[in-house]
Amino acid sequence: MSEIEVILVDAADRPLGKMEKLAAHTQGILHRAISVYVFNSRGELMLQRRASDKYHCAGLWSNTTCGHPLPQEATADAAQRRLYEEMGLRAQLTPVFELYYNLALGNGMSEHEYGHVFFACSDRLPCLNPQEADGWRYAALADIADDIAKNPRQFTPWFLHTFPRIPAQAAAFLAGNAATV
């Protein structure tokens, strides 16, 4: 991981340079990120449980896939790459919204990111990369909201931050994409 670099950006997502990923997380430097949310034909969201040996947020539930574009990599290409690397899935991704966050992760790390959120529809089952995820499940958005209310510490900080925007965005997205599953 020490060789992976991220794209440093300003608050408007304009590239400023690059930095090693772990350094960006320990120094809290703003960088570009991607998050992917895959829904099945029943409108359920595929969650992943981060592998138990991840350097932050190990064993926590999160969105289907997340990660960072590499320098010189298009954001949508990074989303496709990470979806395949983490979950063994390929799907047509749609950019849905962007957001900024600066969230403490513990152990002196933070997720100071300008995030690009993508949605997809698929009924394919994942083939997990055990270095990335050690569990997955589909869940209805209402059930996820209930679980978050009861057990927020079982979810990643960025998922907790982003999830309130997901139901309304998902309803519109799924209404227009139900035939693509």
In this structure, what is the dihedral angle of CA atoms 35, 99, 57, 46, given to the nearest 10 degrees?
-40
Cα–Cα distances (Å) from 140 to 84, 97, 98, in that order, read 23, 21, 23
Annotated binding site for Mg(2+): 86
In this prediction, residue 181 carries a pLDDT of 52
CATH fold group of domain 5-175: Nucleoside Triphosphate Pyrophosphohydrolase (3.90.79)
Name the E strands within 40-127: 45-50, 61-62, 65-67, 94-106, 109-121
In this prediction, residue 1 carries a pLDDT of 45
104-135: per-residue pLDDT in tens? 888 889 999 999 999 999 999 999 999 999 99
Residues with catalytic function = 66, 113
Given a cut of 80, whether residue 19 has pLDDT beyond it is yes
Give me the mean pLDDT over the 48-63 stretch: 94
Residue type, 34: I
Q: Where are the domains of the chain?
A: 5-175
pTM: 0.94
In this prediction, residue 27 carries a pLDDT of 96
Share of the chain above pLDDT 70, in %: 97
Annotated binding site for Mn(2+): 25, 31, 68, 111, 113
